[in-house]
Amino acid sequence: MLNQGTGVRYPWIKSKVERSLASIKSWLEQCNYQVYASVSGGKDSLVMSHLIRQVYPECPLVWVNQGHLAEWDDCVELLEYLKTQGWNIVELCPVRDLWHLYLDYGVPLEGTMDTKADKLINQKLIYDPLEEYQELNKIKGYVWGIRKQESRNRAFYLNKYGEVHTLKNGLICCSPVAFWTTQNIWEYIDMNSLMYPAIYDVDRMTVRNGCPIGTTGANWGRLVELRKHYPDIYNQFVNKFPQISTYV
């Protein structure tokens, strides 16, 4: 289900919008427009995409579809809706979706993302499709919607590298909403009357578009929240992978 921003004006975010657009323009020039935007159907990538389309309307908006129970229905609906509005949504489908990678390698339930199994799953699920796309399209850079406020690790990363920087692999990365708050994101969505996934209306300030059956943070209650708020998804998950029931 989709809802629409209220249309209320928030003139005080004008300076943030101008700063973001300046970063995007600089990044596009450095990359000679050989770029893409990494999107998920979440609120931050929605705002980031709306901003970049003001400068480069044809920019490919690349979505890696992680498959069964690994994407929120509302976020998928938003991406499908944006296609009908002329947004250049490019859907990448891994050879094996997350559900089948769990069957292949097991469900990582450690309290870190740095385990061998987790790294292997992420490589096959996300990085391999993106790297193939980058090579085929001679990509020089990408833009994403990460923000400092989302986590300490992101704040450290963005404070260290800034809004535009070159990665070790030579790609130029742009983070145009790095300095935006969650409230700013919603002010922009409302101000521009953007359609957005209805899941956020549970609590606009705390709901995040993480993978529903992702297990990072299982030790800190992530699966408890899944069982509490989305029992249908949880029950399908635990019926196939009963070991996750020990974490709730």
Q: What is the pLDDT of residues 56-106, one digit of tens each?
A: 999 999 999 999 999 999 999 999 999 999 999 999 999 999 999 999 999
Residue located via tokens 């692999």:
169
pLDDT of residue 58: 98
Rounded CA-CA distance 187/246 in Å is: 40
Q: Tell me if 121 sits within 8 A of 105, measured CB to CB.
A: yes
**Token pair of 185 as six digits:** 């994101």
Prediction pTM value: 0.94
> Closest Cα partner for 145 from 40, 233, 242?
40
Rounded CA-CA distance 56/108 in Å is: 39
3-state SS assignment for residue 142: strand
**Token pair of 48 as six digits:** 């980031």
pLDDT of residue 195: 98
Give every residue of the chain whose pLDDT is below 50, as ranges: none
Residue located via tokens 């705002």:
47
Write the burial class of residue 92 (CB in 10 Å: 0-12 exposed, 13-18 middle, 19+ buried).
middle
> Closest Cα partner for 150 from 18, 44, 1?
44
Rounded CA-CA distance 42/200 in Å is: 9
> Closest Cα partner for 73 from 209, 248, 171, 223?
209
